[in-house]
Structure 1
Amino acid sequence: MKKIMLVCCAGMSTSLLVEKMEKAAAKDNINVKIFAVGEIDLKNHMDVDVVLLGPQVRYLLNKIRKTMEPKGIPVDVIDSMMYGTMNGEKVLKKAMELINNSK
């Protein structure tokens, strides 16, 4: 099972996106655990396969990459349009591509 972590300011604004991604994963029979955390809780969740940042915390990208990428964990920012429209299917596809390309 792959683990996808979404990061935003407090972990709240991404919760709807998590639900939409879970529905897309279920529809496509993708075995993943998707969860959202606030930036402050990131250090408590280092056992993930990919980290996606909400557009509102894109300023954290380099800082989080320095922490996660040496462990082989890809980090990227969710496209603003995908985030704004809560397109769980496209965000899930992006997460899976990042996981598959990091191996």
Structure 2
Amino acid sequence: MARSHNKKKRRRLSPMLKLAMVLCAALMIFSGFSELKTMYDLHRSISDTQQKQSALKAEKKELTKKKKDLSDPDYIEYIARGKYLVTKEGEQVFKFSNDDTNN
């Protein structure tokens, strides 16, 4: 009978130990949320960087094409004649308006 009496008697946790356990649990939860926020920020940063990288690749492709075009003498002549109205000796330039009000 003494044995069953000892089995029922449980040792109670001291209030300091309970407080320490609650503080440890709170610290672990706070740490977990902090890690989740850091991971979210990193994923967002990676996504932003990938978008910037895509935009820069497109810009590089466009600039490479422009560089290639600018090394072509016919293209340079086309731009000079069209945009800057450069003429050959003896040529006359006629400029027409793009107004479609006469229709």
Normalising by structure 2, we get a TM-score of 0.19
Q: Larger radius of gyration, structure 1 or 2?
A: 2
Q: Relative CO higher for 1 or 2, CA cutoff 8 Å, sep ≥ 6?
A: 1
Greater share of strand: 1
More helix by share: 2
